[in-house]
Amino acid sequence: MSGQAAGAAGNSAGKAVYGPASAPKLALSTQSIIFTADMTVRVKDVTATASQVTAIVTAVGGYVSGEQEIIPPGNQGIPQINLVLKIPAAQFSQTVAKLSVPAIGKRLSYNQQAQDVTQQVADVTSRVASAQAAIKQLRALLTKAGSVIQLLTVQNEINSQESNLEALLAQQRALAHETSYGTVTVLLVGHHARIVKKHKKAKASHGFLAGLRGGWHALALVVSWVLTALGSALPFLITAGLIGAIAFESRRRLARRKTPPAPEPPAASAS
């Protein structure tokens, strides 16, 4: 009986590790995801609502990483507040739901994204371990260096590896923070009437003066077009003229060389 019990225990243990019920938990625990969202909410009082939103975020362990007040131009411009919120990843969905309730305001737009950086996190972690191991080996080699040149060479390599390690550690900390805290950008806008400005239509003018102005304008356009075309073609015309002159001069010299000299007249005989 004890053997059967042990076998049953082994089977149950195997199901606990490899069974389908535990697979999703394992996958979720090893994933690194960056959550971001942005929304626009129309509220009655932007200042009071900003304080209310801040209280909701800080209650779950988050914080406000940025706040900007925007005042539209015009005498009737109502200020708008843009908040950048950092929310713990474990409380991200619940907090976003609290920010979207009608008691906060009317949500005009919403967009959410999830970026899986699991492979990037694993790659940075591996590179950090490799850099730390390389520095350890170089420091051990430094104690065995015999000449000054060897000491300087090993020390320079250590400095290079330490700089690389510092950059990797900074990237690792940034990834850890981004995967630990989701980012929500909230734009709070107040209730205000939309002002539509009416533009006056320009009256069309007729008569002799209008025709004269139109003719001068057309003439100016034609002259401008001709001058532009001439300016564009002038470098090509100069180059073509120089090439033609050189070719003409070379051809004339070649013709002179090929022309035989005229025969001398016979000398007169003495009588």
Longest Cα–Cα distance of the chain, Å, equals 162
Helix (H, G, I), strand (E, B) or coil at 78: coil
Nearest of 47, 49, 183, 57 to residue 106 by alpha carbon: 49
Each as own residue / partner, the long-range contacts of residues 48-54 (CB below 8 Å, 24 or more positions apart, any chain) are 49/81, 49/104, 49/105, 49/188, 50/81, 50/83, 50/188, 52/104, 53/83, 53/85, 53/99, 53/104, 53/186, 53/188, 54/83
Q: Confidence band (pLDDT; 50, 70, 90) for 60?
A: very high
| Predicted local distance difference test score (pLDDT) of residue 89 | 92
| Predicted local distance difference test score (pLDDT) of residue 196 | 32
What is the value of pTM for the model shown?
0.53
Average pLDDT over residues 202-221: 60
| Predicted local distance difference test score (pLDDT) of residue 22 | 36
Which tokens is 220 given?
A: 């100016």
pLDDT in tens, 169-194: 999 999 999 999 999 999 998 876 34
pLDDT at 24 over 50: no
Sheet holding 80-88, edge to edge: 63-70, 80-88, 181-190, 33-43, 106-116
